[in-house]
């Protein structure tokens, strides 16, 4: 079940405002590694960066505030087997895998990104293109096109 997010949970608000509070930079995890940037605007296909060329969203798999790095680090691992695949962005829509959203808001999840990054947290919100996780009390934006595997750790009810 998809929830209707408040404006504070939109991709644009998170990247241009919430993640940049106190003049903080945004960490973008891309296929080429981490980038620390100030995002000016979010368009349909690109992230417009202060004083730099736009970054295509297809290059980005995860984003969060630089202030959150220490909170995320303990739950941010690397899957060496997936990383060794050296996957690149899938440009053709017809070739992209559909992420099977077997999660609801509040569910604990483990996500392996196409870069090999592994992130564990609780689903806070999701849309057609993004999943917002709560990782140790901080928000992490995941781009669905960058997901290699998603597991729900919801415990079945004991009825």
d(CA 146, CA 62): 8
Domain boundaries, the chain: 7-152
pLDDT confidence of residue 149: 92
Q: Distances from the Cα of 111 to the Cαs of 65, 72, 151, in angstroms?
A: 19, 13, 6
- Residue 158's pLDDT is 42
Tell me which CATH code domain 7-152 carries. 2.30.30.100
Extract the tokens encoding 137.
């009390």
Q: With a cut of 50, which residues of the chain have pLDDT below it?
A: 1-4, 157-159
pLDDT of residue 94: 78
Q: Looking at the DSSP assignment, which residues form a beta bridge with residue 34? A: 29
Q: Name which of 21, 32, 5, 16 is nearest 130 in CA terms.
A: 5
Q: Going by DSSP bridges, is the β-strand pair 117-126/76-78 parallel, antiparallel, or unpaired? A: antiparallel
The reported pLDDT for the residue numbered 34 is: 93
- Is residue 43 helix, strand or coil? coil
Main-chain phi, psi angles of 146, to 5 degrees:
-100, 5
Distance (Å, whole) CA 122 – CA 49: 29
96 contacts 90 by C-beta, under 8 angstroms: yes
- Per-residue confidence (pLDDT) for residue 1, from 0 to 100: 40
């Amino acid at each position: 079940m998809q929830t209707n997010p408040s404006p504070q949970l939109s991709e644009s608000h998170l990247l241009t405002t919430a993640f940049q509070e106190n003049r903080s930079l945004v960490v973008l995890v891309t296929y080429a590694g981490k980038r620390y940037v100030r995002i000016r605007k979010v368009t349909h296909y690109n992230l417009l960066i202060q004083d730099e060329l736009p970054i295509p969203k297809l290059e980005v798999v995860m984003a969060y505030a630089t202030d959150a790095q220490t909170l995320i680090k303990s739950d941010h691992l690397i899957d060496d087997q997936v990383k060794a695949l050296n996957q690149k962005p899938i440009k053709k829509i017809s070739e992209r895998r559909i992420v099977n959203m077997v999660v609801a808001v509040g569910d604990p999840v483990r996500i392996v990104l196409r870069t090999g990054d592994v992130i564990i947290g609780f689903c806070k919100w999701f849309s057609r293109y993004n999943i917002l996780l709560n990782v140790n009390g901080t928000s992490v934006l995941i781009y669905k096109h960058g997901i290699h595997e998603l597991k729900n750790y919801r415990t079945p009810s004991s009825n």
